[in-house]
Chain A
Amino acid sequence: MAAGLDPAQGLSGPRRGARRRFGGALWRRPWLKGLSLLGPPSVAFIAVYIAALAALFVSSFWSVNAFTGVTVHTWSLNNFRELWHGATYHTVALRTISIAAAVTVTDAIIAFPFAYFMARLAGPRTRALLFVLVLLPLWASYLARVYAWRLILDHDGILNWSLQKVGLPAANIAYTNTAVWIVFSYIWLPFMILPVYAALERIPHSYIEASRDLGAKGGRTLRSVIIPLALPGVVAGSIFTFSLTLGDYITPILVGGSSSQFIGNVVYDTVNQSSNLPFAAAYATVPLAVMGAYLLIARRLGAFEAL
Chain B
Amino acid sequence: MDTVDLTVGDGEFFTLLGPSGSGKTTTLRIIAGFEQPDAGRVTLGGEDITNEPPYSRDVNTVFQDYALFPHMTVADNVGYGLKVKGVSRAERKRQVEEVLRMVRLDGYGERKPIQLSGGQRQRVALARSIVNRPKVLLLDEPLGALDLKLRQEMQVFLKSLQRELGMTFLYVTHDQEEALTMSDHVAVFNEGKIEQVGSPNDVYEQPATEFVAGFVGTSNILERDGKRFSVRPERIELNGTGHPGVVADVVFVGAFRRIFVDIDSGDRITVVRPNDGTTIEPGTRVHVHWRDEDAYEIQSPDTHEQEVR
Contacts and interface: CB of A to CB of B under 8 A. Distances in A.
B271 interface: no
Contacts of B84: 214-216, 220
A302 to B, nearest CB: 9
Contacts of B63: 206, 209-210
Interface in A220-250: 220, 224-225, 228-229
A46 B84 CA distance: 52
Contacts of B34: 209, 212-213
Contacts of B129: 214
Nearest to A214: B81
Given A206-B63, A220-B84, A224-B80, A212 B54 contact: yes
Contact of A214 (B53, B65, B71, B132): B132
Contacts of A213: 32-34, 54-55, 59-61
A214 B70 contact: no
A234 to B, nearest CB: 14
A209 B61 contact: yes
Given A214-B80, A214-B81, A214-B128, A209 B71 contact: no
Contacts of B80: 211, 214, 216, 224
A304 interface: no
A45 B50 CA distance: 61
A229 B55 CA distance: 21
Interface in B105-137: 128-129, 132
Q: Which of A210, A211, A220 has the most CB of B within 10 A?
A: A210
A228 B77 CA distance: 14
A210 B55 contact: no
A19 interface: no
A207 interface: yes
Nearest to B140: A206
Nearest to B70: A229
Interface in A172-221: 204, 206-207, 209-217, 220
A207 to B, nearest CB: 5
How extensive is the interface on chain B, given as a class?
20 to 34
Contacts of A207: 67, 69
Interface string A31-52: 0000000000000000000000
Interface in B38-81: 53-56, 59-61, 63-65, 67-71, 80-81
B217 to A, nearest CB: 32
Contacts of B81: 214-215
B227 interface: no
B85 interface: yes
A228 B63 CA distance: 21
B54 to A, nearest CB: 4
Given A204-B65, A206-B63, A224-B80, A212 B70 contact: no
B127 to A, nearest CB: 12
Interface in A126-184: none
Contacts of A211: 69, 80
A225 B80 CA distance: 10
Interface string B23-35: 0000000001110
Contacts of B54: 209, 212-213
A211 B33 CA distance: 13
Nearest to B58: A215
Given A204-B65, A209-B34, A215 B71 contact: no
A228 B71 contact: yes
Contacts of B85: 215
A127 B183 CA distance: 45
Given A220-B84, A224-B80, A212 B67 contact: no
Contacts of B132: 214-215
A65 to B, nearest CB: 58
A204 B67 contact: yes
A204 B60 CA distance: 18
Contacts of A206: 63-65, 67
Contacts of B69: 207, 210-211, 224-225, 229
A26 B93 CA distance: 54
Given A206-B65, A209-B63, A214-B60, A229 B53 contact: no
Given A206-B63, A224-B80, A212 B53 contact: yes
Contacts of A225: 69
B70 to A, nearest CB: 7
Contact of B55 (A204, A215, A228): A215
Contact of A229 (B60, B67, B71, B128): B71
A216 B67 contact: no
A224 B59 CA distance: 21
Nearest to B125: A210
A210 B67 contact: yes
24 contacts: A204-B67, A206-B65, A206-B67, A207-B67, A209-B32, A209-B34, A209-B61, A209-B67, A210-B61, A212-B33, A212-B34, A213-B32, A213-B54, A213-B59, A213-B60, A215-B55, A215-B56, A215-B81, A215-B84, A215-B132, A220-B84, A224-B69, A228-B71, A229-B71
Closest 5 CB pairs of A and B: A206-B67, A214-B81, A210-B67, A212-B54, A215-B84
